[in-house]
Structure 1
Amino acid sequence: MSHIIQIGLFGYGVVGQGVYNILQKELSNRVKIQKIVVKDLTKDRGEASPLISFAKEDILDNPEIDLVIEVISDAEEAFSLVAEALQKGKKVITANKKMLADHLQELLHTVENSQGTLLYEASTCGSIPVIQTIDKHFAYQPITSIRGILNGSSNYILSKLNQGGISYAQALAEAQQLGFAEADPKLDVGGYDSLNKLVILNYHAFGAIGKSEEILHFGIQHISEQDIAWAKNLGYKIKLIAQSSLQPNGELISWVLPSLVHSESELYTIENEYNAVQIEGLYTDSQLLKGKGAGSLPTAASIVADVLAVLRQEPYINSAYSGKPKTQADASLAVYVREESPSSPLILKDERFIDKRSRIGRIQIKEVLRRKEELAEQGLFIAQIPEALLASQAVHKEDCYQLV
């Protein structure tokens, strides 16, 4: 009989329960969950109750446990658990994108200096196997850009707004009711979740280990029906897009912004809680990966896929990793801006006004990054637009700003 992998599971929320159920149903002949560590011992854990503990040592100090799965919400606590497990030479699977974005370089260093293994497919796009695809399919092909919808909660809200007849507050409440958005939705609608995922993808696609604060990002929390109508009348939908492009000099340009997406784009039809990643390869042109990016079972399924990778002894390849972070290049972006106040401190180049509070023009990424905190207090909505719109006569108010 082959060796049964012993698993220790940190966390038993909706994702943890999904992992437990899938493993019991699909891999019970190859793996065994030996211990589940939680914080609240008063909850009824059903058939998993005999496995429940509140002591992390029951997993970390147990030499019989080969594999640790971490699915808790606290990023710093998750880092402590993952780092200790790796130091002890255990194989670790995590879905905590904020923890990875904040501590990726430290964790990779720990892996290099221990017998540990780190896998985290579920951290980026829910059910989409984007990390494995990048590491294997693009192992010997340079990636020139990644562009995608990386947050299912925001995409669900924007889908409802683009359909019309519903307010932002109503769409957010609906997303929360369905379990796509948290009670505190800031990480999703503020663009932070997409930002953390882009940091992770930048490592695999470009070998860049950067910090989230080095990447320009704005969310959708200040979007209005006016913004939706303006884009719609020009033939666009507004989507929250994360994008990184590698420049010929090796520098990387990255941002996370609401963006005008044309009907000819493959991302135009990505709706509700679905995610999608568009990968541009030097030899294969554009490829699109699509799947559910929110929900307990899609995330759990990606974690179980990593369990299979452990069973097959297939760690990540990370062929793009150079050992040194690439420099974040400066660049200008064409944007649409709507302010609560007509006296916004944001200066645009090649500026054209749509009305007293709405305009288009160009921003410098590093300049906006430098003033990010100041601008965040202004309650402005900012969206990337195609360069062609800056010169188009169609953006005049009388032609396209017809509110519905």
Structure 2
Amino acid sequence: MKLERVRALAWKEWREIVRDRLFFALAFVVPALLMVLFGYGLSFDVENVPFALIDHDRSVQSRDYGYRFIGSRYFDFKGYAADEADAYDLIAGGEVRAVLVIPPGFGRDLAQGRPARVQTLIDGTFPNRALTIRGYVSAINAERSLDSAANYLAARSGTPYADVRARLQPVSLEVRYLFNEAVLSIWSLAPKLIMLILMISPPFLTALGVVREKENGSIFNIYASDISRGEFLLGKLAPYVAISCVNSLLLWLMAVGLYRVPFKGDFAFFALASMVYVACTTGIGLVVSVLVRTQIAAMIVTMVITLIPAVLYSGLIIPVASLSDAASFVAHAMPAMYYADIVAGCFLKGAGGAELWRPLLVLALYACALFAAGYALFSKRPAS
């Protein structure tokens, strides 16, 4: 293998990338654009839930109960509804996601120490969001119930309110969140978006770059030359690996600077892991490019085998531990899951090579296997 030939071919490929404005935009602009679109478009935070209130009781107790929801940062009060039919129309029209219904006699029942019932109507078209809203409602209701019981017993027994409340709640639960103290979904999403974009962009660029040679006929110059398969593949892929490494740095800067995600790990290890992952995803594009003949086919095949696994089987949306056995097997057979573990560990957990060497080793083996497959499948003999 002669490095002069590899450098010459890599320089030729770089000039073609720069000369083609559309391809240049795909290489450098689209990854950053995807980071912005996904970062601002995806959010699992459930806050400022629009809700309405039906107060049939109109007592001091009912107003106090309603104000607990109105004053919460998790709810956005949109006004009062007249009745249940009006509430149904508000939810069906998408104006609110929940309606709190306080029945007549609510305040009287509380004053007399009897259980008081309330109803919450929740839009269930988004199940995960609906379950979270239900959790918020249950937490506020539990707090109000505890206050009501403490006030009633304190008034009947003459015991100070604080003492009664402490006795009613003998076990005090304090929750501390590790690694994502603010419990912000963007802190988890932004690092994994790096995984997603680097799974889409490098194979896409590589597949198009190689197949383009087939479509315009310039591949026959390679067939007729004395350049070896290894020299051609290295020279052809080197610019795409370099571009993707630059994009990984840009995406890291966007995650840290734009989305304010803390980076607690070893940057050198993160950079090494990103290079291995880029080599791995570039290898996917290489295998696709030697199997198809047109750029349209290359785009379709690449998107199918990269986008779907990266979204569904990497832990981006659904934790891998929550997947079925078959889905978990697919996740462990794809490189996206391993790099997702690495970026999450580097950004949020402060992990490095000592903790994450296993997924890095899997990615390295995956990259070697893909390049070996691409080398074996590529032939300098034109396909008949």
**Structure with greater helix percent:** 2
State the TM-score, normalizing by the size of structure 2.
0.25
Q: Rg: which structure is higher?
A: 2
State the TM-score, normalizing by the size of structure 1.
0.24
User: Relative contact order: is structure 1 or structure 2 higher (C-alpha 8 Å, sep ≥ 6)?
Assistant: 2
